[in-house]
Chains A and B, each alone.
Chain A
Amino acid sequence: RKEVEQDPGPFNVPEGATVAFNCTYSNSASQSFFWYRQDCRKEPKLLMSVYSSGNEDGRFTAQLNRASQYISLLIRDSKLSDSATYLCVVNGNYQLIWGAGTKLIIKP
């Protein structure tokens, strides 16, 4: 089993819709969780950290479910500019462990 698993997609979503993706992790001792965004041929950039109580940043909401060991990302009112690959990241013993990413395509 991979340490961090994501559905690779692609998710094809019409502009304005709400989309959500999950990510599961294997290490129950993990304490830090992040969502990164990677645009085509660019470096990954931090989108948001994920806190135990869940957190929101504008149209983006992140949730953590420790019991089931997954985190989720919800994007409301999706924009064309949200098209990207979303990377789920979890802490390991001394470095971050990366999912392979979920590709999101927003269609006009």
Chain B
Amino acid sequence: NAGVMQNPRHLVRRRGQEARLRCSPMKGHSHVYWYRQLPEEGLKFMVYLQKENIIDESGMPKERFSAEFPKEGPSILRIQQVVRGDSAAYFCASSPGPGTTFIHGYTFGSGTRLTVV
């Protein structure tokens, strides 16, 4: 049973390019959470998605950032026109749903480290 799969592990983009980060949740998990972690800082919540629905995007910057979790395929976090300040580790976590989350917590992927040059 594969865990949460994130790819790529490392991504280098030039300023102004687009970054696409992918997250495949664990089998049987339909809830996905994206977090950003800047160097030497804590986890910052970005967005919570269910299949085809955004449940909470209160942590997403208003511009350039978007997320989706289609019916088929992985969840995608998209950053348009990247800037140096977007350089960070982006972690995805998944769970079967709130009920199970509150018993067992989240399972995280290994993260994508985005570097903007």
Contact = CB atoms under 8 A, between A and B. Distances in A.
**Chains A and B form a bound pair:** yes
B4 to A, nearest CB: 8
A46 B108 CA distance: 9
Given A41-B89, A43-B111, A44-B108, A31 B102 contact: yes
A28 interface: no
B105 A96 contact: yes
Contacts of A42: 110-111
Interface string B48-76: 10000001100000000000000000000
A96 B33 CA distance: 10
Contact of B91 (A34, A43, A99, A100): A43
B111 A32 contact: no
A95 B98 contact: yes
Contacts, number: 54
A34 B104 CA distance: 9
Most buried by A among B35, B55, B105, B111: B105
Contacts of A105: none
Interface stretch (A52-60, A62-70, A86-94): A86-94
A67 B33 CA distance: 30
Interface of A: 31-32, 34, 36, 41-46, 49, 87, 89, 91, 94-96, 98-101
Contact of A95 (B101, B107, B108, B113): B101
5 contacts: A46-B107, A94-B55, A95-B33, A95-B45, A95-B48
B43 interface: yes
A89 B105 contact: yes
B11 to A, nearest CB: 15
Nearest to A103: B40
B43 A44 contact: yes
Contact of B108 (A32, A41, A45): A45
